[in-house]
Amino acid sequence: MPVLSERSIASLLQPFYPETNGLLLEQLSRYLDLLMKWNVRTNLSAIRDPEEVVRRHFGESLFTALHLPSKGSLLDFGSGAGFPGLPIALARPGLAVTLAESQNKKSSFLREAVRQLGVPVNVWAGRAEDIPTDRLFDIVTLRAVDRPGVALAHARARLKNGGVLAHLTVALEEGTPAIPLPGSANGVLVLQTALFHVEQST
């Protein structure tokens, strides 16, 4: 018996991602069941209520997907239990997604989730900073990472020229371009494009 029905999941996601379809809802339902099962013995998420998991984790991840390109490569920096990278991979199958997570229990969960969901997602079981420096991505996502200032600097270093950094965070200083997250008092999505100055040869 699923933790929540697909109809309930679709209703909870409506403010974040109105594009849900049968396959996506079926995959999210399986993902939720697996997350709740593992969370009993492994601290994957401090959020224990299934409806809140759908709103906060799934909803905010899928809201991010709406604002990203549908093709290219994506690195989810410090993926934890897969947010926002794995729901983005489910919603945007044209993206080649890598989930980077250094904690062994969480990376083990990610490998099992990817296997059960049957999605071609790569799990990097280590620090994102240790990915070979010549491997760059079109998109890098971050959410609830340790030492965000340091993580953001490392994330920017992983972007291709013209790539997009998508950062889910709390409200920043006034004037910072950000998209408010539905139903959140201070959560925002910050999108930045990496543009590097290239010296022209003479």
Task: Write down the domain spans for the chain.
Answer: 6-193
Whether 172 shows a pLDDT value over 80: the answer reads no
pTM comes to 0.93
Structure-token pair, residue 147: 């030492």
Whether 81 shows a pLDDT value over 70: the answer reads yes
pLDDT for the residue numbered 175: 63
- Average pLDDT estimate for 80-94: 97
Amino acid code (one letter) for 5: S
pLDDT for the residue numbered 30: 97
What digits encode the pLDDT tens for the residues 149-160? 888 899 999 999
Q: How many CB atoms lie within 10 A of CB 194?
A: 18
Fold of 6-193: Rossmann fold (3.40.50)
Confidence of residue 106 (pLDDT cuts 50, 70, 90): very high
What digits encode the pLDDT tens for the residues 28-72? 999 999 999 999 888 888 888 999 999 999 999 999 999 999 999
The answer to whether the beta carbons of residues 71 and 48 sit under 8 Å apart is no
Whether 121 shows a pLDDT value over 70: the answer reads yes
Whether 87 shows a pLDDT value over 50: the answer reads yes
pLDDT for the residue numbered 171: 67
Beta carbons within 8 Å of 73's beta carbon, 6+ residues apart: 95, 96, 97, 98, 137, 138, 139
Structure-token pair, residue 81: 């239990």
- Average pLDDT estimate for 116-132: 95
pLDDT for the residue numbered 128: 92
pLDDT for the residue numbered 201: 40
For the chain, helix (H) and strand (E) counts, in that order, are 7, 7
Q: How far apart are CA 136 and CA 163, in angstroms?
A: 9
Q: How far apart are CA 74 and CA 96, in angstroms?
A: 6
